[in-house]
Amino acid sequence: MQAAGGATLNTDDTPATGAAPRASRRAVSVLVAIALAGLTVDQVVKHLSVSMLDPQDPVRVLGGLVYLSLVRNSGAAFSLGSDYTFVFPLITIVVIGWITYMTLRLRSMPWAVALGLVLAGALGNLTDRLFRAPSFLHGHVVDMFSLFAPYGERFAVFNVADSCLSVGVVLAVLLELTGRQRDGTRLPGNAKKHEQREEAEQR
């Protein structure tokens, strides 16, 4: 875009040449939307689980592939570290701060999805830590999904926030391994390999 006299103006998503890339409004909006959606679904499912599930009577679903089992977890994701409940909210706050910092140059849509999912998972379980019994910072997280057995005998009982967190982390690792950067660029070596692969497929 040009102003009168030929001076070049930049749009919101296009940084000036040589300047550090600014965050894309679209990417940040996607991150926030995914985080809010994941947090909302997580809290609604937890509310319904507390209201409708009996801890002593798991609900068998899909022929026993999934059990709906109400469990209150004092540990981290998948019931890890139950003796250090107070530490997890502090770690979560650091993670949220890190994600906020990452958004300053966020221009990649895949990274927006990954970070949005991680943020949804972090906020979902942090909400439980802050506002559920037994006390502030020591609240027990509500879990409800158990695979293959009713009480986590085969796989740890988890919730929607845990799922968001896990998928987000896996996606972030894949993006790092393929050289995709948060500013929308790709590392030179990975970009060259990608071009060579595309050329080979076209032959």
pTM comes to: 0.80
For residue 12, what pLDDT is reported?
47
What is the distance between the alpha carbons of residues 199 and 203, in angstroms, rounded to a whole number? 7
pLDDT tier at 20 (50, 70, 90 boundaries)?
low
What is the distance between the alpha carbons of residues 94 and 88, in angstroms, rounded to a whole number? 10
For residue 195, what pLDDT is reported?
60
What is the distance between the alpha carbons of residues 152 and 90, in angstroms, rounded to a whole number? 27
Please report how the helices 25-52 and 160-177 are oriented relative to each other, as an axis angle in degrees rounded to 10: 150
What is the distance between the alpha carbons of residues 79 and 136, in angstroms, rounded to a whole number? 19
Q: Which active-site residues does the annotation give?
A: 143, 162
pLDDT tier at 40 (50, 70, 90 boundaries)?
very high
3-state secondary structure 137-157: CCCCEEEEEEECCCCCCCCCC
What is the distance between the alpha carbons of residues 123 and 193, in angstroms, rounded to a whole number? 37
146-203 residue pLDDT tens: 999 999 889 889 999 999 999 999 999 999 999 999 998 998 765 555 565 666 666 5
For residue 86, what pLDDT is reported?
75
For residue 58, what pLDDT is reported?
96
60-94 residue pLDDT tens: 999 999 999 999 988 665 556 666 677 888 889 99
Contact 66, 147 (CB under 8 A): yes
96-142 residue pLDDT tens: 999 999 999 999 999 999 999 999 999 999 999 999 988 888 899 99
Number of H helices, E strands in the chain: 5, 3
pLDDT beyond 90 at 42? yes
Nearest alpha-carbon partner for 113 in 60, 160, 169, 153: 169
Please report how the helices 109-131 and 25-52 are oriented relative to each other, as an axis angle in degrees rounded to 10: 40
Are β-strands 141-147 and 59-61 bridged in parallel, bridged antiparallel, or unpaired? unpaired
46-66 residue pLDDT tens: 999 999 999 999 999 999 999
Tokens of 12: 């919101």
